């Protein structure tokens, strides 16, 4: 495995970047517990290889691993699902009296996106990666990132109230 200095470097990295990586995992999964599981799974896979990964861009490597692991979880989960009973409404809940917190309404809308579009939105707009960096992370062409971004933004505009999209008053829909 790695040396004690590698272990210390890994611990420092996780302490420094862990909260941001956890936020990314939460944005991908939409669930705090699944996000913790996702990040822990990825970090457990990365730790034995840390001495090789740390020399290059470890955060980019871990972001890519988060996206790929989440996608594999998502595919595996849906293959085995057997629907039963009434499916609950998964659309964002709008409270006409309380107002909508922008962060929560945006996160709910992002969770409704298909996995690939969600990954593009998280990497491009929450992690602030360029088109090229996002394409490299996802292993696709920059044009794919652009088209997936356009589709995702179109969907988000349709899901979010006009006031949120335009950056104006954040009142809930009637």
Q: How far is CA 108 from the centre of its chain?
A: 12
CA pair distance 119, 110, nearest whole angstrom: 9
Q: Given pLDDT bands bounded at 50, 70 and 90, which one contains residue 170?
A: very low
Position 133 scores a pLDDT of: 93
Q: Which of 69, 85, 76 is nearest to 29 (CA)?
A: 69
Q: How far is CA 137 from the centre of its chain?
A: 13
Tokens 């652009």 identify what position? 146
Q: At residue 164, what are phi and psi to the nearest 5 degrees?
A: -75, -45
Helix (H, G, I), strand (E, B) or coil at 145: helix
Please say if the pLDDT value at position 167 is more than 50.
yes
Terminal alpha carbon distance of the chain = 58
Q: What angle is formed at CA 40 by the lines to CA 53 and CA 17, rounded to 5 degrees?
A: 60
Position 14 scores a pLDDT of: 92
- Residues 89, 159: contact at Cβ < 8 Å? no
Q: What angle is formed at CA 167 by the lines to CA 161 and CA 169, rounded to 5 degrees?
A: 70
Position 164 scores a pLDDT of: 57
Position 168 scores a pLDDT of: 47
- Residues 50, 10: contact at Cβ < 8 Å? yes
Tokens of 76: 């595996």
pLDDT tens digits, 71-116:
887 666 544 455 566 766 666 555 554 445 677 778 888 989 999 9
Tokens 């949120």 identify what position? 164
Number of H helices, E strands in the chain: 9, 0
The pTM score is: 0.55
pLDDT tens digits, 13-69:
999 999 999 999 999 988 898 899 999 999 999 999 898 888 888 999 999 999 999
């Amino acid at each position: 495995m790695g040396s004690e200095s590698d272990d210390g470097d890994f611990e420092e990295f996780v302490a420094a970047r862990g909260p941001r990586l956890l936020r990314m995992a939460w944005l991908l999964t939409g669930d705090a517990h699944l996000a913790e599981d996702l990040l822990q799974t990825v970090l457990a896979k990365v730790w034995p290889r840390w001495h090789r990964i740390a020399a290059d861009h470890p955060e980019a490597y871990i972001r890519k691993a988060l996206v790929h692991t989440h996608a594999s979880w998502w595919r595996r989960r849906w293959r085995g699902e057997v629907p039963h009973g009434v499916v609950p409404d998964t659309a964002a809940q709008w409270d006409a009296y309380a107002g909508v917190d922008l962060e929560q309404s945006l996160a709910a809308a992002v969770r409704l996106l298909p996995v690939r579009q969600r990954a593009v939105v998280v990497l491009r707009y929450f992690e602030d990666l360029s088109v090229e960096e996002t394409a490299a992370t996802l292993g696709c062409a920059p044009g794919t990132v652009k088209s997936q971004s356009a589709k995702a933004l179109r969907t988000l505009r349709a899901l979010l109230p006009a006031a949120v999209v335009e950056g104006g008053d954040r009142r809930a829909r009637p």
